Structure formats: C-alpha cells, structure tokens
Structure 1
C-alpha cells in the first residue's frame, strides 16, 4: 500500500484523502461508484469464493460498464497475484517504503 499511496499522493495532492484511502477508504470522501468499486475489490481480495452476480449488478447500478468491471477484476486480480509472488519470494520493498512486520523474518531467497 505504501508504494501506491506514494503514487496517489503525487496525483491528487490531498494528504487527507491519501491517508483515508491508505488506512480505511470508507472514511474518504469518494463518489458512490468509486466506493462500490473498492468494496468489490476488497471482497474479491478477501473472500473471492463469495462473489455473486449481485456484486456485478451493484457495480452496474453505479454506472460501470461490463468493460469497466472486467478492468476492475483484472487489475485487482493482477495486484493480488503479484503481491503474493513478491511476499513469497521476499522481494525487497522500494527504498522509500517501510518493511512490513512479517518482512523482518528471514524469507527464502532464490538468487
């Protein structure tokens, strides 16, 4: 999240918004469609086995097209994948990022 917060900070220049999104997006002043998209991504990330057609219908009701929904699923899924790969292989974070607590333990190195 730190890397993405860093990028968002450069885009929006709104420290309060960045902090809310980084810590709890539900506290941020977001439009309903963006909030619905983030709710969908959280569910997809944390409980993918619970995804239902109703979840897609909620996004459509907020004005998102099927192409938008496909993009959302692909981007969220890619980041879930690549973060798991990085965590599993002990990839070092960017220099400006603080390590996560679990990264202090010895991780396997494939180099």
Structure 2
C-alpha cells in the first residue's frame, strides 16, 4: 500500500490514465507530493489522494455540481487539512465507475482555460 493510497486505488487510477491515453487524449502521468497525477498541457487536472480522485472542474460550473452530486463525493482536500480546493471535486474509489466521465469534464475545463 502506498503512503496516501491503497494498491487498489493506484491500480484503478492507472487504468483511468491508460483509458484516457488509449482514447487519444494528450494526457501525461506525473507525481506531485507523493501522489499520482494526470496533466494536460502541463496543467494538472486529476490527482489521487486517500483513495479518491480529485478533478478540477471550476467552482459553480454545472460539471462541478454534477460531480458533487455523486454519492460520496466532496470537495478535494488532498492533505485532509480542512482546506479543500473549491474548484476541485473528489470522487471516492467505490465510485470509480464515474472517474472517466469526470476526467473528460476536467479535461474540457482545462482546455477552456
């Protein structure tokens, strides 16, 4: 088990990255502060922390609201410090079936910026 994530979460995150890359998205893998991340054009759009993936979606966007409506989702707080990232939503491992669609929304958000 990793420092911040279970082996299962790391495996599922790797599968998400593979699906995005195999689908033609110009996604890059990386690490930040000991956590696996995904980047587009050098900008991070997804990060795995504490068995949840945080996705940047932009506060007050329909995509952000839709992600927050997923059971178990919450604002992303990678350090569990109580200082969540307002533009990011964390989707837990048990809802990894929703990671691909949320990743697509995050990629679109990053591409618009």
Instruction: Output the TM-score relative to the length of structure 1.
Output: 0.24
Rg larger for: 1
Instruction: Output the TM-score relative to the length of structure 2.
Output: 0.24
Instruction: Please identify which structure carries the higher strand content.
Output: 2
Instruction: Please identify which structure carries the higher helix content.
Output: 1
